[in-house]
Amino acid sequence: MNFTLNILGTASALPMVNRYPSAQVLDVRGRLFLIDCGEGVQMQIRRQRLSILKLDTVFISHLHGDHVFGIFGLLSTMSMLGRTAPLHIYAPEAFRKALSDFMASFGDGFKFEPVHHAVSADAPVKIFETRSLDVTAFPLNHRIETYGYLFREKTPMKNVRKDAISQFGLSLAEIGTLKRGEDVVREDGTVILNTEAAYQPYEPRSFAYCSDTAPFPELSEWVKGVDLLYHEATFPCGYETLAQATFHSTTRQAAECALQSGARKLAVGHYSSRFPDASFFLDEIKEIFPEAILCHDGMVIDIPLKKFE
């Protein structure tokens, strides 16, 4: 049951020869979720041997070009490849006109419908779910309307211990009760505690995407305890004034958010083009939050399944 993040782009506003603009694909049990869609996303998807037609749903943080210019070429390619299933795109309301204009000019012959779902929130709100996953949107602190996204696996049903089935002579109905997390209460008053007969098979995994944003106090609470936090680090230490003016974050600010949130791991990207080599960013981050990595285009980050004994 994979839960894997594919980094397609780590550049900020200006693409570079070794950095494409922002885009990521989160693979959750074989379902592919595209998060932001900067220019060149199709090239990067092919380089990482992902399937364009298997992209399930798209989540756009905001309507700055480095996060959205790639979507229109991607939609055209999906049409040429024969997609017929609707493509659901979660993005701020401002995306509606851009999509409408694109479809009016270039959508003739499309056999599938791009469906826009307007994201609007002033606090975390669930916007999407599957049988195994919830997606929550939350506002970020940027120059225009911008959202982060939290992907969290749903708590799985309990597993019933094999020895408990024989020990208590459990019926199928009682097994179902235990799997739902409830105690079994029999007609004779016997109680079989869920804690004695069942267990949670694994801990739900989670990933939070925070780009672009200046720091604000609520963010660390909204992503509290996340397994993997992706937080922009556009600038290194010493560039706080520029970061504040452009509503971005520095390495230190990203690390402080991870520390305050109790995240298990921090991944950073969205590097300013002022720094062709951003390797020194990592030293600044690890001074505050050691469990950190610098993302690079083509990186794959796996969030392993943690099973309970």
Instruction: Write 98-104 long-range contacts (CB < 8 A, 24+).
Output: 98/63, 98/68, 102/72, 102/75
Do residues 284 and 236 touch, judged by C-beta distance below 8 A?
yes
Whose structure tokens read 């490849």? 81
The encoded tokens of residue 139 equal 């506002």
Which residues belong to the active site? 66
The encoded tokens of residue 295 equal 């993302």
Question: In angstroms, rounded to a whole number, what is the distance separating the alpha carbons of residues 281 and 252?
Answer: 9
For residue 71, CA distances in Å to 15, 58, 78, 111, 266 come to 16, 9, 10, 17, 27
For residue 94, CA distances in Å to 88, 123, 161, 229, 230 come to 16, 19, 52, 26, 24
User: Could you give the residue ranges of the DSSP H alpha helices within the chain?
Assistant: 41-47, 65-68, 70-80, 95-106, 162-168, 172-179, 194-197, 218-222, 240-246, 251-261, 281-286
Bridge partner residues of 34 (DSSP): 25, 58
The encoded tokens of residue 196 equal 């004695």
Question: In angstroms, rounded to a whole number, what is the distance separating the alpha carbons of residues 153 and 130?
Answer: 9
Q: Which residue type occupies 128?
A: F
